[in-house]
Amino acid sequence: MSGLLLRAADRAWTAWKNGGGETATVALFPEGAGLSDFDWRVSIARVDGDGPFSAFPGIDRTLTVLSGGSMALNGHVLTPDSAPFAFDGGEAVQAVVSGGPVHDLNVMTRRGRFTHSVARVRGPVALGGVPAVRLLLALDSGYRGLGAWDALLVGPEEVATVTGDGAGLLVVISGV
């Protein structure tokens, strides 16, 4: 396994932009950027209840529920088994949480500079050298060297293979 290992235990939790919850940054570019000047950002949030999302004009977002109950975003219901949901970060989005707190993965890219795609993948993953950064987030401990919510950041042209017991589940983010 090559790439930069980003351990879940090393993440610091901070308040949301709108003050309505907490988030932990998984990876950010450029390093040290803030919420108003990042080019791309991947984070995990804990959502305990209903409320508005922070607006990020000019940002493309994709949300994936990692654990917990369900969360409806303007009527689009997300669960830990549903596909990632892409939307315009500048839209007014209202979340309605059901069945207990939800942890979600939030991928944001600045429109016109970066694009991204997000997919859930089960089993071994081999990534060949491509001219884009990829980030893999383990959803469980079914992969060698990765615990639940650990991430592997694979840079442009790097090659990485992630193996395990065959039952592991990853979220693969491409294009950041």
Residue 3 covered by a domain: no
Same domain (yes/no): 90, 121: no
Using the 3D structure, point to which of 79, 95, 110 is the last residue of a domain.
Answer: 110
If asked whether residues 20 and 95 sit together in one domain, one would say: yes
Confidence of residue 110 (pLDDT cuts 50, 70, 90): very high
Return the top range by mean pLDDT from 25-29, 46-50, 119-123: 25-29
pLDDT in the model for residue 130: 62
| Closest to 72 (Cα-Cα) out of 95, 105, 46, 99 | 95
The answer to whether residues 86 and 138 belong to one domain is no
As a whole number, mean pLDDT of residues 12-25 equals 82
Q: Give the residue-averaged pLDDT of 137-162.
A: 84
Q: Which domain holds residue 144?
A: 117-174
Q: Which of 63, 88, 110 is the last residue of a domain?
A: 110
Is it the case that residue 16 has pLDDT exceeding 90? no
Task: Dump pLDDT digits (tens) for 48-59.
Answer: 889 998 899 999
Q: Are residues 138 and 93 in the same domain?
A: no
Q: Is residue 6 part of a domain?
A: no
Region of residue 68 (phi > 0: left; psi between -120 and 50: alpha; otherwise: beta): left
56 assigned to some structural domain: yes
Secondary structure (3-state) at 46:
strand
Q: From 93, 110, 127, give the residue that closes a domain.
A: 110
Residue 41 shares a structural domain with residue 91: yes
Q: Is the pLDDT of residue 102 over 70?
A: yes
Instruction: Count how many domains the chain has.
Output: 2
